Amino acid sequence: MDKCRILLLTLLTTAALGQWQKAPLKIPARPNMNLYRAGANAQQEIAEAVKQAAKGSKRVLLVFGGNWCGDCHALDYAFHQPRIEPLLTANFQVVHVDIGRYDKNLDVVKKYHVDLEKGVPSIAVLNMQGGLLYSTAEFERARMMTEEEVIQFLNAWKPPAPQAKK
């Protein structure tokens, strides 16, 4: 009888985990309407993030979007989930770059080769010196994505582990 209970519990746990990994990201009930600060100096915030990244051997994640964008809030909500937040904070300095209504920080958008025509949120990954490694609009439908997809992206772009000295 105990073996049957253990087997049933194992099957139910596995099924629940599988569903959880496939669940789409959520837009929070009360989104942070100051996530993309209107008066922020994006260039200055990026420069500061690069300095901090170099000190902590991290990369910089630029998240382009606007407070009106539901998918931007879904991605930020994902960034604060227990499976994602430790991975994010250990490996990245995050800067939210306000694009307004596609009319702000366009110089920054151009500098980091962000294709706003594909939508937001768009992400650029910078190395510790501030050089562009990758930019993508794949998060423009963040609410259709899963935590697992965000984790895979972060793992793919986190800095390499330091080499052990011989």
Confidence at residue 15, expressed as pLDDT on a 0 to 100 scale: 45
Residue 165, in any domain of the structure: no
The CATH number of whichever domain residue 117 belongs to comes to 3.40.30.10
Q: What total number of domains does the chain contain?
A: 1
Residue 5, in any domain of the structure: no
**Burial tier of 140 (Cβ tally within 10 Å: 0-12, 13-18, 19+):** buried
* Residue among 120, 52, 122 nearest 92 (CA): 52
Mean pLDDT by groups of 10 residues along the chain of 166 residues = 56 47 82 92 98 96 97 97 97 98 96 94 97 95 94 96 67
Whole-model pTM: value is 0.84
Residue 146, in any domain of the structure: yes
Confidence at residue 6, expressed as pLDDT on a 0 to 100 scale: 60
| Cα separation, 130 vs 8, whole angstroms | 51
For residue 76, report the phi and psi dihedrals to the nearest 5 degrees.
-65, -40
Residue 7, in any domain of the structure: no
Residue 112, in any domain of the structure: yes
Confidence at residue 20, expressed as pLDDT on a 0 to 100 scale: 47
Give the torsion sign (CA, 58, 64, 68, 72): negative
Residue 35 is given by DSSP the state S
Residue 3, in any domain of the structure: no
Amino acid at position 162, single letter = P
Confidence at residue 5, expressed as pLDDT on a 0 to 100 scale: 59
Degrees to nearest 5, angle at CA 83 with 67 and 143:
40
Confidence at residue 165, expressed as pLDDT on a 0 to 100 scale: 60
| Cα separation, 63 vs 76, whole angstroms | 9
Residue 143, in any domain of the structure: yes
By DSSP bridging, strand 122-126 and strand 92-98 are unpaired
Task: Please name the residues in contact with 155: beta carbons below 8 A apart, sequence gap of 6 or more.
Answer: 87
Confidence at residue 1, expressed as pLDDT on a 0 to 100 scale: 53
Q: Which domain holds residue 94?
A: 24-157
Confidence at residue 71, expressed as pLDDT on a 0 to 100 scale: 96
Confidence at residue 7, expressed as pLDDT on a 0 to 100 scale: 52
Q: CA-CA distances (angstroms) from residue 77 to 68, 82, 124?
A: 15, 11, 18
Residue 1, in any domain of the structure: no
Confidence at residue 69, expressed as pLDDT on a 0 to 100 scale: 96
